[in-house]
């Protein structure tokens, strides 16, 4: 027991030291003068190599998931495409990982690392599949596990998918703290880290993100081995950015340098994630713009000093789909392929069904994950709940979708249409956040800072210099 004050402000003031003790990683060693840090060196020194990750994951049955060719969906896509078009869709079935999602890849390395450093247990703050993944991996390696989950609004209502994910964590025997939306989550998380001395199995560490690299590597090699080439495109469901970052890094490690990286999120614009009112008005707990936009435009909002998940470095294109389109894709996969899977991967599937129609018929587009499904992740559970809280649901043109107000389920697969996210706007917003958070003027940035911004935004020095002029006053 310690005698430290445990009121909200005192705990928040100790945030830095608590996080440091709970990770045993000195991020300062990667900091450079100005705004930049040495990302590559952080990933190399603090992460694990691909070979090491493969070994760690093979010890706990993570990875090596099947690549499925959904023939019936591909026939449908061909029917919807003009002559010569309609790329082949492939789906990486990540649901067969031990706890049912690609998050096992991330958790496997975090938990391995915690054990190696001698921690007695692990804690993760997550409303998602990651909790189940950490709990599952902790069981396999004999560590204790606490999951802190933002579950309810102030009336005590939790939407079915979040409740489902809490159930999964409990099934693995984790101690689950279910909290209401708002600042309580981070406070309780810090308090628990301090009280227990457990490891912070953050989603955003170099080792966690390194765990996802095997997914990208497998995608590249699965396709290469069977079809004799790398895929032309990979669609990746995007929220906090680890999925895009790790998968792309893995593709690059396999030398799949020309594969286009397409991030996809559910469009929830207008809904505020930390709002008590909006919290339950989203039928998706991840892979949506409520995380996807803020994390792309400011990755270091994470629970570690420097986020290893830096999606903007890696995306070539970013699209959104609507909630109704994803429900439709979920049914499509179940009814045409006999594969019932959860919503997150089906975000990318919905996007791929549309994007495949723009691509030539000899091209390959990979949906890089599925996730398990369960009682609360089902469209029926979600739609019944949405209806109960007053969301209008009908069949029609998904263009009529309004996040939190209307879920419009397509009447025909040709109505699934991705919306482009303007990456230049995202980049601009990233630069604006940098200038604001470092309280620095564009003219005071060094050449090293500008290089860093070009890398961060997947652009070049000229692009950054031109953009910075817009911020000079
Ligand atoms: C199954 C699944 N897919 C995709 C994502 C998005 O991953 P990321 O947050 O790394 O962008 C999540 C994260 O919650 C997830 O659980």
Q: pLDDT per residue over 354-383, tens digit each?
A: 999 999 999 999 999 999 999 999 999 999
Name the residue at shortest CA distance from atom 9 of ligand 1: 240
Assign domain 61-99+207-420 to its CATH architecture: 3-Layer(aba) Sandwich (3.40)
Dist. CA 22 → ligand 1 center (Å): 23
Residue nearest to atom 10 of ligand 1 (CA): 242
What pLDDT band is residue 115 in, cutting at 50, 70 and 90?
Answer: very high
The DSSP code sequence of 96-139 is GSTTSSTHHHHHHHHHHHHHHHT-SEEEEE-SSHHHHHHHHHHH
Distance 127 CA to ligand 1 centre (A): 11
Please determine, for residue 127, whether its predicted confidence score (pLDDT) is greater than 80: no
pLDDT at residue 88 greater than cutoff 80 = yes
pLDDT one-digit tens code per residue, 151-197: 998 888 989 999 999 999 999 999 999 999 888 889 999 999 999 99
Classified by CATH at the fold level, domain 8-55+101-204 comes out as: Rossmann fold (3.40.50)
- Give the pLDDT confidence score for residue 2 in this predicted structure: 63
CA 287 to centroid of ligand 1, rounded, Å: 6
Kindly give the interhelix angle for 423-437 and 289-297, rounded to the nearest 10 degrees: 60
Residue 1 pLDDT more than 60? no
The CA dihedral of 414, 328, 309, 311, to the nearest 10 degrees, is: 10
Overall residue count recorded for the chain in this entry: 473
Instruction: Classify residue 276 as exposed, middle or buried by CB count within 10 Å of its CB (0-12, 13-18, 19+).
Output: middle
Dist. CA 356 → ligand 1 center (Å): 22
**Which atom of ligand 1 is nearest the CA belonging to 103?**
16
373 C-alpha vs ligand 1 centroid, how far in Å? 14
pLDDT (mean) for 407-434: 98
Both tokens assigned to 425: 């706007």
Mean pLDDT value across residues 235-242? 97
Rounded distance from Cα 265 to ligand 1 centre (Å): 10
| Ligand 1 binding pocket, CB closer than 6 Å | 101, 103, 128-129, 237-243, 286-287, 309, 344, 369, 371
Q: How far is the CA of 447 from the centre of ligand 1 (A)?
A: 34
Task: Report the atom number in ligand 1 closest to the C-alpha of 236.
Answer: 4
Q: Are 329 and 353 in contact (CB under 8 A)?
A: yes
Atom 14 (ligand 1) nearest CA: 286
Q: Which of 197, 188, 190 is nearest to 21 (CA)?
A: 197
CATH 3.40.50.1100 domain span(s) along the chain? 8-55+101-204, 61-99+207-420
The alpha carbon of 286 and the centre of ligand 1 are apart by a number of angstroms equal to 6
Mutate to test the pocket of ligand 1, among 96, 97, 344, 371 (most ligand atoms within 8 A of CB): 344
Q: State which ligand 1 atom lies nearest to the alpha carbon of 345.
A: 3
Instruction: Return the best residue to mutate from 240, 295, 308 for the ligand 1 pocket (most ligand atoms within 8 A of CB).
Output: 240
Closest-CA residue, ligand 1 atom 3, reads: 344
List phi, psi (to 5°) of 264: -135, 135
- Residue to mutate, 98, 103, 343, ligand 1, most ligand atoms under 8 Å from C-beta: 103
pLDDT over threshold 60, residue 139: yes
Q: Which two tokens stand for residue 36?
A: 């930049």
Residue 239 CA to ligand 1 centre (angstroms): 6
Over residues 326-347, the mean pLDDT reads 98
State mean pLDDT over 26-44.
95
Atom of ligand 1 nearest to the CA of 285: 14
Ligand 1 atom 13 nearest Cα = 286
Dump pLDDT digits (tens) for 53-81: 999 999 999 999 999 999 999 999 999 99
293-308 average pLDDT score: 95
Q: What is the mean pLDDT of the chain?
A: 95
CA of 473 relative to ligand 1 center, distance in Å: 39
Q: Which residue is closest in CA terms to ligand 1's atom 5?
A: 287
User: pLDDT tens, 245-296?
Assistant: 999 999 999 999 999 999 999 999 998 877 888 888 888 989 999 999 999 9
Q: Which atom of ligand 1 is nearest to the CA of 238?
A: 11
Give residue 222's Cα distance to chain centre.
22
Mean pLDDT of 418-437: 97
Burial class of residue 155 (count of CB atoms within 10 Å of its CB; 0-12, 13-18, 19+):
exposed
- Helix ranges (H only) for 254-342 are 289-297, 323-337
Asked whether 92 and 117 are in contact (CB, 8 A), the reply is no
pLDDT per residue as tens digits for the range 445-465: 999 999 999 999 999 999 999
Pocket test for ligand 1, best of 129, 150, 265 (most atoms within 8 A of CB): 129
């Amino acid at each position: 027991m310690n005698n430290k004050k445990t009121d909200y402000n005192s705990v928040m003031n100790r945030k830095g030291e608590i996080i440091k003790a709970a990770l045993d990683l000195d991020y300062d060693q990667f900091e450079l003068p100005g705004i930049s840090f040495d990302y590559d060196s952080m990933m190399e020194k603090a992460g694990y190599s691909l070979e090491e990750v493969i070994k760690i994951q093979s010890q706990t049955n993570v990875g090596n998931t099947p690549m499925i060719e959904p023939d019936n969906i591909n026939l449908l896509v061909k029917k919807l495409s003009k002559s010569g078009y309609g790329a082949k869709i492939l789906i990486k079935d990540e649901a067969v990982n031990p706890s049912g999602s690609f998050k096992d890849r991330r958790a496997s390395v975090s938990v391995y690392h915690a054990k190696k450093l001698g921690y007695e247990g692990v804690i993760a703050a997550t409303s998602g599949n990651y909790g189940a993944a950490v709990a599952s991996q902790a069981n396999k390696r004999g560590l204790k596990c606490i999951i802190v989950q933002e579950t309810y609004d102030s009336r005590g209502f939790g939407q079915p998918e979040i409740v489902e994910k809490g159930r999964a964590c409990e099934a693995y025997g984790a101690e689950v703290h279910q909290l209401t939306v708002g600042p309580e989550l981070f406070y309780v998380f810090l308090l628990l880290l301090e009280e227990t001395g457990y490891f912070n199995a953050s989603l955003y560490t170099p080792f966690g993100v390194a765990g996802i690299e095997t997914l990208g590597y497998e995608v590249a090699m699965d396709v290469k081995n069977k079809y004799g080439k790398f895929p032309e495109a990979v669609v990746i469901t995007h929220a906090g950015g680890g999925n895009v970052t790790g998968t792309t890094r893995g593709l690059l490690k396999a030398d799949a340098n020309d594969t286009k990286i397409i991030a996809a999120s559910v469009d929830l614009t207008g809904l505020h994630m930390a709002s008590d009112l909006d919290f339950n008005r989203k039928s998706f707990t991840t892979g949506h713009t409520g995380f996807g936009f803020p994390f792309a435009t400011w990755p270091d909002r994470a629970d570690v000093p420097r986020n290893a998940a830096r999606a903007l470095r890696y995306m070539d294109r970013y699209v959104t789909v609507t909630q109704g389109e994803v429900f439709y894709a979920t049914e499509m996969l179940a009814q045409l392929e006999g594969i019932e899977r959860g919503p997150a991967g089906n975000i990318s599937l919905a996007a791929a069904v549309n994007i495949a129609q723009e691509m030539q018929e000899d091209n390959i587009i990979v949906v890089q994950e599925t996730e398990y499904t369960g009682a609360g992740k089902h469209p029926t559970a979600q739609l019944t709940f949405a209806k109960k809280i007053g969301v209008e649901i009908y069949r029609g043109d998904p263009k009529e979708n309004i996040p939190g107000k209307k879920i419009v389920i397509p009447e025909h697969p040709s109505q699934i249409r991705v919306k482009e996210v303007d990456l230049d706007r995202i980049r601009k917003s990233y630069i604006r956040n940098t200038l604001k958070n470092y309280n620095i003027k564009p003219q005071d940035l060094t050449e090293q800072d500008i290089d860093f911004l070009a890398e961060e935004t997947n652009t070049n020095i000229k692009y950054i210099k031109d953009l910075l002029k817009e911020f000079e006053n």
